[in-house]
Amino acid sequence: MIGRLNHVAIVVPDLEAAARTYRDTLGATVSGAVDLPDHGVTTVFVELPNTKIELLHPLGEDSPIAKFLEKNASGGMHHVCYEVEDILAARDKLVAEGARILGDGEPKTGAHGKPVLFLHPKDFCGTLVEIEEV
Amino acid sequence: MIGRLNHVAIVVPDLEAAARTYRDTLGATVSGAVDLPDHGVTTVFVELPNTKIELLHPLGEDSPIAKFLEKNASGGMHHVCYEVEDILAARDKLVAEGARILGDGEPKTGAHGKPVLFLHPKDFCGTLVEIEEV
Which H or E element spans position B55? Answer: strand B52-58
Q: What is the pLDDT of residues A94-123, one digit of tens each?
A: 999 999 999 999 999 998 899 999 999 999
The whole-chain average pLDDT of chain B stands at: 96
For A95, which residue in chain B has the nearest alpha carbon?
A: B25
For A69, which residue in chain B has the nearest alpha carbon?
A: B126
b/e per residue B79-118 (b: at least 16 CB within 10 A): bbbbbbeebeebbebbeeeebebeeeeebeebbbeebbbb
- Give chain A positions within 8 Å (CB) of B126: 10-12, 72, 74-77
Could you give the C-alpha distances from B7 to A41, A65, A68, B61, B98, in angstroms and in order?
A: 25, 24, 23, 25, 25
DSSP, res B124 = T
Q: Assess contact for A44 and A34: CB atoms under 8 A.
A: yes
In chain A, what are the domain boundaries?
Answer: 5-133
pLDDT band at B61 (very low <50, low <70, confident <90, very high): confident
Report the relative pairing of strands A41-47 and A34-36 from DSSP bridges: antiparallel
Residues in B 23-82 with any Cβ partner in A closer than 8 A: 24-28, 48-51, 53, 55, 72, 74-77, 80, 82
Q: Which residues of B participate in catalysis according to the annotation?
A: 130
Q: How far apart are CA B65 and CA B56, in angstroms?
A: 8
Q: What share of residues in chain A are helix, strand, coil (percent, to 5)? A: 25, 35, 40
Residues A50, B55: C-beta atoms closer than 8 Å: no
Residues B26, A82: C-beta atoms closer than 8 Å: yes
Report the relative pairing of strands B5-11 and B76-84 from DSSP bridges: antiparallel
Q: What is the pLDDT of residues A51-86, one digit of tens each?
A: 999 999 999 989 999 999 999 999 999 999 999 999
Going by C-beta distance under 8 Å and a sequence separation of 6 or more, which residues neighbour residue A99? A119, A120, A123, A124, B25
Out of 3.40.50.300, 3.10.180.10, 3.40.605.10, 3.30.43.10, select the CATH number for domain B5-133.
Answer: 3.10.180.10
pLDDT for residue A37: 93
Q: Is the dihedral of CA B79, A102, A71, A37 positive or negative?
A: positive
B94 touches chain A (CB under 8 A): yes
